[in-house]
Structure 1
């Protein structure tokens, strides 16, 4: 039954192709008995570098039943085929390289009819052919720098001087660090501290000058090919069972998630590829020979996130060694011994402080007596005492003298005369 249905369907299709399709074509031709006029008065201007503005006129004397769409076709002078872009406006703007020259033409098309193609409009760059720089390539690196290289045009004079600049939106970066060939003509340039975004489209313009002829310019719209930095903070950890490598994603000039990178780890003669979303990698310790030294390095590339899918630079080499048999046991023994000794020393210090062992074992030594100082002090004391005794004796004599003087001046009583005679050694007189 299925085979019968298949045969009937095939027969119906053949009948439509033989009988119905020509009728459909004739119907479309009858609907398009009045062709659309072709666009006229094409005008081409370049208001800024790397940008064209194309306009045209489309004269229709009667109202069209269906809207008209225009197809703009363009190609440079070296291309064999035409590129085609549709628009509903009679104004066409586009960022496009101009250095090879361009040709444009326009065709009006409705839902049922297609008009004739317009006359071609050409853009021809100034300067002598073959003098523009050729084979221009630019590679971004280190997140904010870019290297550009090129070859001198085949017809460029010996005194040709090239000047390179990059443009993005309103930002313009001019190159100041050139490399020259043996004739002094610039063949390479390095940009430092770029402020443009490497993932967005960049316009490169290289102009030339010479005293012998007019030099054609070179221009191109491109997205920079970036050479990624190596992964950062690479560390290697070893234990008795495994080797673990850890890292951080490469530094870039734009924010990007960690799963957007692929990595390669080179250890001696082998290359390993960790999972892209991980930032660590583990290998069993049995993978390596005990007692040998190994060199490890890493690199990265983009993984379908719009960043560069070319392998970046290798990291700085890291050397590590696998200890010989029994080395881990010895390390553990030594480590345990050191820990035990440290604990014992701390306990001993605490006990000594608690029971003042230091003062008991090493009591303070008395200081020797300073005889000279004592003699001086005794001498000063004795001198002061003698001085005080002398002063007291002198005061006593003065008092005695004063008393004698008072006795002489006062009239003597009878008893006093006897006393005075006793003092002077004379016998008292008899009355």
Structure 2
């Protein structure tokens, strides 16, 4: 009995001590919460650029904080009021990224943390730095990237409004596995100015972020910084419609194939666009399948058009939509019609043959409308041969024509002389 009583007294005594300690902690927390700035802040907040992409901040620890009184000291930092971090480190490193003001601001404060909940804190200290000097109108705009079917990536941009004419843009990039900055190897140009960069599959990581910097060799423009998540810019290739037919209920059955990397059907999300004779367009969502029956009547005397596009759903990686497939339709004869581009290809030789025929008929019409003028030399030559080389002109009242010569007659002529007398001399 005495032993049991002793155990009961000991348990009661232990419980009383725990309760008193809990009350003391609650009092400490309440007193800390009553003053939001009862801790001394850190000091000497500095920033420096480690390389083209990385900014490093350092600061000195808070002074006069008694860590042996239960303060688990950590430093909470925020970059541009967005990226939050809490750790015991006296430094922070971050990749550069574009900001509307082209400036990066970091603020940091000290906190006493208990089970991830701060019960004491200091006021913030702040340091802002300009990412790139220069005229904002000289930096590139509309920087975008598209990762096509995990095979290659194209990034494009537009030159600045007040860019110097001799500007030579340079794109640098970096991601986790790269130990140093890399430069674009294949630019695309417009008016002899670089406006894009092509990345092959071997130059890209399989996933994650890529960080970019676009500047120029002369450093006369303001550089821009950007980062992209590969999954967010992934664009699958367009599907191909494999079969389209009319069911017994005059509905349309369509199936398609995807030229994608190995991906589970559960990750696929498709859209089927239907257009009937009424020119109304409907889009039907399709999940996890590569075939669909459109529950709309398409009778044999109607023309119904279908096309498909695909994306990876949000449960896998949430890609962008692919381009639409080629249009396939069921015509008035109930059969499958090919895309209009095929019809255009067939029309090319027909148009060429019609053009040749038209040119021949036009030539005949021109001969009838505008007969050729005869050559006078040829006419006279024929008349000369007809008259054996003998012809003359006979003058009529108003015109001269050529006629046959009359018969030639010969007359005799007698010359008589009078005698020469002497009387005549006298």
TM-score, length basis structure 2:
0.57
CA distance in 1, matches of 2:297, 2:203: 46
Identify the match of residue 224 of structure 2 among 210, 218, 235: 218
SS in 2 for 1:178: strand
Rounded to whole Å, the distance in 2 between the matches of 1:196 and 1:215 is: 27
Give the structure 2 partner of residue 368 of structure 1: none
Q: Give CA deviations for 1:157-198 in whole Å, capped at 9, x if unaligned.
A: 1211112244322355725131324xx322334444464247
- With over 3 angstroms needed to count, the CA separation of the structure-2 counterparts of 1:198 and 1:127, relative to structure 1, is farther
Say if 1:32 and 1:112, in contact at 8 Å, map to a contact too.
Answer: no
Q: Distance in 1 between matches of 2:154 and 2:37?
A: 58
Let me know the Cα RMSD of the aligned residues. 3.7
Aligned mates of 2:334, 2:140 — CA distance in 1: 60
Aligned residue in 1 for 2:188? 178
Q: Report the secondary structure of 1:28's partner residue.
A: helix
CA–CA distance in structure 1, aligned partners of residues 226 and 36 of structure 2? 44
Alignment of 1:135 with 2:146, yes or no, is: no
In the TM superposition, 1:12-411 aligns within 5 A as: 28=31, 35-61=38-64, 63-64=66-67, 65-75=70-80, 84-97=84-97, 100-110=102-112, 111-118=118-125, 120=127, 122-171=129-178, 172=182, 174-181=184-191, 184-193=192-201, 195-197=203-205, 199-210=207-218, 214-224=220-230, 225-232=233-240, 234-238=242-246, 240-241=248-249, 243-249=252-258, 251-252=260-261, 255-268=263-276, 269=279, 270-283=281-294, 287-305=297-315, 307-308=317-318, 310-321=320-331, 323=333
CA distance in 2, matches of 1:278, 1:33: 57
Quote the Cα distance in structure 2 between the aligned partners of 1:33 and 1:217: 40
Gaps of 5+ in 2: 1-26, 113-117, 336-426
Q: Name the CA distance, whole Å, in 2 between partners of 1:116 and 1:199.
A: 39
CA drift at 1:92: 1.6
What's the TM-score, normalizing by structure 1? 0.57
C-alpha distance in 2, partners of 1:137/1:233?
A: 30
Q: Is the 8 A contact 1:40 1:57 kept in 2?
A: yes
Return the offset for 1:74.
2.8
Q: 1:66 to 1:207 in 2, by over 3 A?
A: same
Q: Which runs of 5+ in 1 are unaligned?
A: 1-23, 76-80, 326-431
Query: 1:101: how far off?
Result: 2.9
Distance apart, 1:149 and its partner CA: 2.5
**Secondary structure of residue in 1 paired with 2:293:** strand
Q: 2: CA distance between counterparts of 1:144 and 1:86?
A: 39
Structure with the larger helix share: 1
SS in 2 for 1:130: helix
- SS for the counterpart of 1:89 is coil
- In 1, distance between residues paired with 2:207 and 2:199? 16
Give the count of matched residue pairs. 292
Alignment check: 8 A CA contact 2:270 2:308 kept: no
Using the alignment, how far apart are the partners of 1:197 and 1:151 within structure 2? 25
Tell me if the contact between 1:71 and 1:86 (Cα under 8 Å) persists in the aligned partners.
Answer: yes
1:107 positional shift: 1.0
Cα distance, 1:199 vs. partner?
A: 5.0
How far apart are the structure 1 equivalents of 2:217 and 2:305? 51
Deviations 1:185-225 (A, max 9, x none): 22334444464247522212212134xx6223211112242
